[in-house]
Structure 1
Amino acid sequence: MTASPAASAAPSLRDTSVVRTPRWIWVALASLMVLAGVGYAAGIPLGLVHNYYGPAVYAMAHSWEAWFWGAQDTQAMLTLDKLPGAFQLQALSARVFGYSTWSVLLPQVVAAVAAVGVLFATVRRWLGPRAALAAATVLATTPVVAALAHSQIVDTWLMFLLICAAWAWTRAVQSGRLGWLVLCGALVGAAFNVKMVQAWGVLPALAVAYWLFAPGTKRRRTGHVLVAGVVTAVVSLWWLVVASVVPADRRPWIDGSASNSAWAMVFGYNLFSRHTEGGGTPGGTGGWSYLFTSDVATQVGWLYPLALLGFAGGLWWLRSRPRTDPVRAGVVMWGVWLVTHALAFSLGRVAHSFYVEALAPAVAALAVAGVVLSWRAWRAGHASGWLLPAGVAASLAWTVWLQTRYPDFLSWLVPTVVVLGVVGLAALLAQRFLRTPPRAVAPAAAGALAASLLITPAAWAASTTQLGYSGSNIGPAAGPVQSMGGGGGMPRGGGAGGGRPPGGAQGGTTGAVPPGAPGATAPGAASSGDPGAAPTAPGNGRPDDLPASGQPGVPAGQGFSGPGGATRGAGGQPGVGEGQAAETLAWIRAHNPGTRFELAVVGSQGGGEYVLAGGAVLPIGGFTGSIPNVTAEQLAAMVSAGELHHVLLGGGGGQGRDRSGDAELTTWVTEHCEAATDAPVSGLYVCG
């Protein structure tokens, strides 16, 4: 039979699942992972430990109850406003190695390096070992991956687990075995416990592509997808179920929820409140251009044109392949992954732009697919092969345009990219048109073009080891862009040129908007899921494996923020010095500390340094400062019972929000307690 025109025009492909991987590729992969690990770890001394999460990890490392619940304090009175999955890993590291910047941040480095290896394994079965090495290199040099690899932000773990899910999916779609798809669903569920509903953003891609392309009948494939979906739900939601079953007075209050509901924290505070207004920046509009703004595209999107070629071109070239063709299945899966996230980021309010790290694996895989498929068409002499030089030229032009948004940052990049691109494209054309091209032409074209495409993102990724080009502890970012706490379009410093912030200070802190900050729905609003529910008592004094006082203090050099945020810890992080927190706790211990709590802090972010200094702290107000986890009546009862004698007002938190909900509690403190004018910190009251 004569092959159809569509089939004959498609690039020839082999079964990549059985292609032998040359030894040099394994050596190159190992070298890449070592270099990536060293580069990522080089940024740890910058100390990007989060003001809010850092003290919680300290508490979790010193109390198993706090560890399980993801509590902010060693007494496990108030959880974080996120699920505890990745923070539990950080806390285990801190428990084993002692709490330090290195022990907290090293798990992120490990996850980032492991993600490079797993993406290699995934693409190797899909497009072969050489393409896999290229995809791993693209991921390793993606700027936002490098920026988050040495930050406490948990998106690195989200990315790693989702790539693992993609690897299991690849095995499932090639074999049609339910076990691999169940593993895929379980890994997505694990990712949910790291970053909640964002992890489910890959489910349309994984489910649809498996149902369309896996071996077996429709009924069988449908059953597999349903079973894997049930596993995903069970693994995703188990912690929420436990938090719902355990009586409220036997567990911490759930931060992020005015009704003390884990479901409201996850689906109200962290999901629906992000989609109640326009897209783009918090409270902003114009979301359709969000991923193409210079602040966002420079972090993850240098290869957007090639990724588009891989998706659209792959669908065209492979349209006549058998239904179970694994290469087409992979193109569809990665393409739907990319489109789903692009829609979510465009339609929602993105509290932190570093969320786009979830795009990085899809961009890397599709960009490499675009090059591989178009290269095969080019070598075969097909007219569609001209998409290769066109796609490369478009990516180079996009790279030059993005880089010129920051003319004062690594100004040598633009001429270097242009020269390498011209040489590479010339060699590519020579390979096509010369009657007998030299054998070195094809390798020269590949090398020059690869260098021209990767040198700019690699340079941006390398910049994250420098103070001033790493973003802030709440908004990690690469290069001179605005902090990743908000939207794109304006370089640091407010001018068109960008560059290092004045004095080399940690850039990007100003204007960063954490989750729940202005522009997000207040936990007490209707979207929280259960407005008006009466708060329950904050706890009943459960035993803890730390004494109420005299706990080990935070090691020297830890960065955190506290009341006023006037001083700095390690890595330029804003915060009250360790000495002042320790001095305040020593003063309290000399002035009749409570039997259960040494200090209550209104505004939990203001209590972080006291947790790090070893204090038995009662945090009040949560991340936003408006969570009613302790009422005036409950505080009065604690004081009357001798459990607490010292309250710190104005302890931070709230992020500028209206804290009128604290008025009753604050009024009670000011009317029934005496200001400690001789204490080392202002705002401290002695009660009872």
Structure 2
Amino acid sequence: MKSKNRSQARHYRFHIDWILTIILVIALVLYGYGTWKTGSANDFYTSAITSMTQSFKNFWYASFDPAGYITVDKPPVALWFMAISAKIFGVSNFSVVLPSVLFGVGSVYLMYRLIKPKFGKNAGRIAAFVMTITPIVVADSRTNNMDATLVYFLLLSLWMLQKAVDKKNIFWLMGSFALIGFAFNIKMLQAFMIVPAMLLFYWIASKTNWKQKTMHTVLAIISLVVLTLAWPLSVDMTSANNRPYEGGSEHNSVMELAFGYNGTQRLLGQTTGTGGTFKGMGNQKSKNNQTNKNQPTPPNMSKKNQQKSRMKMPGGNKPAGMKNGGAPGGGGGSIFNIGTAGPLRLFQSALGPQISWLLPFAIIGMLASYIVYADPRRKWYQTTEKQKQIVLWTGWLVLVGGFFSVASFFHPYYTIMLAPAIAALSGIGLIGMLKALKIFNRKDIRFYFLPLAIAVTAMLQAWYVSNYYSWLTILILVIGIAASLGIIFIKSKKVMKNVIIAGLITISIAPSFWSMTPTIAKTSDAIPSAGLDLLTSHGNQGGIGSGSVNNKLLKYLQKNQGNAKYLFATADSGTAAPYIIKTKKAVMAMGGFNGTDPAMTLSKFKQLVKSGQVKYYLDGGKSGSTNSSIVNWIKKHGKKVSAKTYGDTSTSNNKQGHFGNKQKMGMPNQMMPRKSSNHQMNGGPQNSSETLYDLSNIYK
């Protein structure tokens, strides 16, 4: 018996994929290194996590504040994992980011598990590696945003779907679609983007008759609907008096939030939750190179800062060696720049350097592998098992890519949704293109897929880096094109193999370098991005999701709070969040994220003041609040507290990792971008014109 156990142990030991293990370690380092040194990440969510660790009610509803006044504008599932981590390790950037890091690494592993069974180890390794070095995947996995968590559960859903097909098991299928419903409660309708591709795959891949497929599909949809609606309906059916206001909604409803602000507005343009309409975010075309007056601007900014923002929109200052103009998509300053809507948007410089380095390779590889894996004995519509897998990943790419090509309201970091499809098709495609080189001769057009993929990808990458480093542009172009020509004309198989390796390494250099920038800069930004600007601008600091605390003001408030329920009230979460994180006390953000949620009425606020629950109001000097009547009443009846009483010393919650001495960081001067100025587009500096009002004597 012992001998048998030893034999089994030996069997499993030798089945460890050490190359995959190395890839996973690289992913863990890229996603996790330095996250314990980066402040409060997205303090909007960190504030909610702080509150969620204090009571189950706050945990269930994802309350932004400890008093359970208002929620964040997303469902709670991703935050549940973060709150559990914070409960175990204490609230810190490390604890709130840890689940994203682990889910990011988990996604890399799932890419391998999804591709290997049908296309082999090498295809799985390549897919895992491409996922690892996709710049926006690294940036997202280092934050407490929901995107890395969402992608993990979508991939897990596909793994269960493949199990359902292979095992002809309805329970795997129902579980797969139930996970999509679970993922809906991570980031709402974004989870549904791949559902059509999943349904198509099941119908073409399942080896059951159409009656069984129909019944199974109905059961799968039922499981999807049940898991989707379980939490939202439980919230909407609870009396508004017994739960927080649903942040981001107009009428205190999760379902409205899902299909409005987090639904149709993402496609058609934002009309709520910002204090203004953001129609066609980044889509307007200017005439004579002048900035369009209707170009969207960050919420709650002065006109002066909005003008500065428009001027800075393309990217930060020029890095060393950059040629004319700015560096779009370089990272750190393009949170409102999503390019021009159209079929080529994903290749444009606004989004491309975040996600599209290997997109041409994936597309050409998709076409090549679909052709190569066809069975010549079958009719064109009779697909092989491998072709069905390609259809699944192509469906993901087309559906998600199509959305980002036309949508009007999203941040560049949302494009992490494209990463799995690009990674999968790159792995599948490379193996397919290598097979084409073996089985077809130079007279067959299919022989030329790989050199074409390397050449086109190299040219796109050279364009992306051309605004930064001329030498890198030349390197990628020369080696990429030379490798492509070498594949075509060199007849020695041994030499050709080395040429192919050189070409593949060449098109991996730039995305690998870009993916390292969030790790080198030790960023964990509210608006994640990757790019060389991070090495000098330290990410998106100075605005959205990175507020600061006025320590003297805080001491004054704590000393004089008395029995008031709230430390103070303010218009928006940007002002409130850092105080909640630091004190773990209740601060009322009357209008939610941007001060625009109609969560509070004047009569209700008067009652809170009269009962002593709200004693102070902090005016952050921001415009756009829907609570103007309340603010006007406060300014008319409240007593201004002299700034001399508490001083104006501020300390930021964000202790961002940064570059000091270039040589100390091990980067040569010529590799180091010039310092970028502060990016005003992130919402402007906090505490720029704060005024504190004492409301305690209004009803005395």
For normalisation by structure 1, the TM-score amounts to 0.77
> Which residue number in structure 1 is paired with residue 635 of structure 2?
670
Q: How does 1:75-154 map to 2 (within 5 A)?
A: 75-154=67-146
Q: 1:207-606 alignment to 2 at 5 Å?
A: 207-277=199-269, 281=282, 286-288=340-342, 289-320=344-375, 323=382, 325-381=384-440, 383=444, 384-404=446-466, 406-408=467-469, 412-418=471-477, 420-421=479-480, 424-425=483-484, 428-429=487-488, 433-434=491-492, 437-438=493-494, 441=495, 443-467=497-521, 473-480=525-532, 504-508=536-540, 560-561=546-547, 575-577=548-550, 579-580=551-552, 582-589=554-561, 592-594=562-564, 596-606=565-575
What's 1:160 paired with?
Answer: 152
Change (3 A) 1:423 1:293: closer
Q: Which residue of 2 aligns with 1:624?
A: 594
Return 5+ residue gaps in structure 1 as ranges. Answer: 1-19, 481-498, 515-558, 562-574
Q: Post-superposition shift, 1:317?
A: 3.5
Q: Deviations over 1:59-112 (max 9, x none)?
A: 112222111100111111101111111112111111110111111112111111
Q: Alpha carbons of 1:650 and 1:685: their partners in 2 closer, same or farther (altered >3 Å)?
A: farther
> Could you report, residue by residue, the CA deviation over 1:24-79 in whole angstroms, capped at 9, with x for unpaired residues?
87111111111221122124234461132221111112222111100111111101
CA contact (8 A) 2:62 2:71 kept: yes
Distance between the aligned counterparts of 1:274 and 1:460, measured in 2? 27
Q: Distance in 2 between matches of 1:462 and 1:588?
A: 47
**TM-superposed deviation, 1:448:** 2.0
For 1:603 and 1:500, the matched residues in 2 are separated by 27
**1:640 aligned residue:** 610
Shift of 1:583: 1.2
Query: What displacement does 1:200 show?
Result: 0.4
Could you tell me whether the CA contact under 8 Å between 1:639 and 1:687 is conserved in 2?
yes
Rounded to whole Å, the distance in 2 between the matches of 1:396 and 1:366 is 17
Name the structure 2 match of 1:491.
Answer: none
Q: Which amino acid aligns with 1:252?
A: P
The equivalent of 1:42 in structure 2 is: 33
Secondary structure of the 2:43 match is: coil
Corresponding residue for residue 683 of structure 1:
692
Tell me, yes or no, if the aligned pair for 1:280 and 1:347 is still in contact at 8 Å: no
Q: Deviations over 1:264-287 (max 9, x none)?
A: 111111112223346563767831
What is the identity, as a one-letter code, of the residue corresponding to 2:352? A
Letter of the structure 2 residue corresponding to residue 640 of structure 1: K
Q: Structure 1 residues 597, 171: closer, same or farther in 2, change over 3 A?
A: same
> 2: distance between equivalents of 1:585 and 1:221?
64
The aligned residue for residue 489 of structure 1 is none
Cα distance, 1:159 vs structure 2? 1.2
Provide the rounded CA distance (Å) in 1 between the counterparts of 2:481 and 2:434. Answer: 18
- Whichever residue aligns with residue 691 of structure 2, its letter is S
Shift of 1:506: 2.6
Aligned to 1:195: 187
Q: CA deviation at 1:507?
A: 4.3
Partner Cα distance (2:100, 2:168) in 1: 33
Q: In 1, distance between residues paired with 2:267 and 2:534?
A: 34
- In structure 1, give the amino acid aligned to 2:559: W
Letter in 2 for 1:302: W
CA distance in 1 between partners of 2:372 and 2:214 (Å): 27
Report the Cα distance in structure 2 between the residues aligned to 1:56 and 1:479, rounded to whole angstroms: 29
- Output aligned runs, 1:60-75, within 5 Å: 60-75=52-67
- The answer on whether the counterparts of 2:357 and 2:511 sit within 8 Å (CA) in structure 1 is yes
Give the letter for the 2:162 counterpart.
T
Look up the match of 2:21: 30
The 1-side partners of 2:452 and 2:281 are apart by 30
1:506 corresponds to which letter in structure 2? H
Amino acid at match of 1:576: V
Give the whole-Å Cα distance in 1 for the aligned partners of 2:213 and 2:365.
Answer: 26
Distance in 1 separating the partners of 2:77 and 2:113: 25
Alignment-mate amino acid for residue 449 of structure 2 = L
Q: SS in structure 2 opposite 1:239?
A: helix
Q: Is the 8 A contact 2:462 2:476 kept in 1?
A: yes
Q: Deviation string for 1:307-335 (max 9, x for gaps)?
A: 11233333434454775732111110110
Mapped to 1, the partners of 2:540 and 2:409 lie a distance apart of 16
Moved over 6 A (4+): 282-285
What displacement does 1:587 show? 2.8
Structure 1 residue 379: Cα displacement: 0.5
The change in CA–CA distance for 1:48 and 1:643 in structure 2 (over 3 A counts) is closer
Q: Secondary structure at the match of 2:639?
A: strand
Q: Report the TM-score, using the length of structure 2 for normalisation.
A: 0.76
> Residue 400 of structure 2 contacts residue 418 of structure 2 at CA under 8 Å; is this kept in 1?
yes
Q: Could you say if the C-alpha distance between residues 446 and 48 of structure 1 is closer, same or farther in structure 2, counting changes exceeding 3 Å? A: farther
Residue number among 37, 55, 64 corresponding to 2:47 in the alignment: 55
Q: Per the alignment, in what secondary structure is the counterpart of residue 80 of structure 1?
A: coil
Contact 2:553 2:646 in 1 (8 A): no
More deviation, 458-467/350-359 = 458-467
Given that residues 372 and 435 in structure 2 are in contact (C-alpha distance below 8 angstroms), is that contact kept between their aligned partners in structure 1?
A: no
CA distance in 2, matches of 1:617, 1:340: 41
1:424 positional shift: 4.5
Structure 2 residue identity aligned to 1:199: A
Residues in 2 aligned to 1:30 and 1:318: alpha-carbon distance in whole angstroms: 29
- Give 1:226 deviation, angstroms: 2.0
Which deviates further from its counterpart, 285-294 or 332-341? 285-294
Residue pairs, 1:163-182, within 5 angstroms: 163-182=155-174
- Report if aligned partners of 1:213, 1:325 keep a CA contact under 8 Å in 2: no
Question: Deviation at 1:633?
Answer: 1.0
Superposed CA offset, 1:177-218 (max 9, x none): 222222211221222111110110010111111112211111
Quote the sequence identity (%).
26
What one-letter code is carried by the residue in structure 2 that aligns with 1:687? S
- What is the total number of aligned residue pairs between the two structures? 571
Query: What is the rounded CA distance, in whole Å, between the counterparts of 2:267 and 2:431 in structure 1?
Result: 38
* Aligned equivalents of 1:68, 1:665: Cα separation in 2: 29
Query: Which deviations, in whole Å up to 9, do the C-alpha atoms of 1:144-186 show, x marking residues without a partner?
Result: 1111111222111111111111212222233332222222112
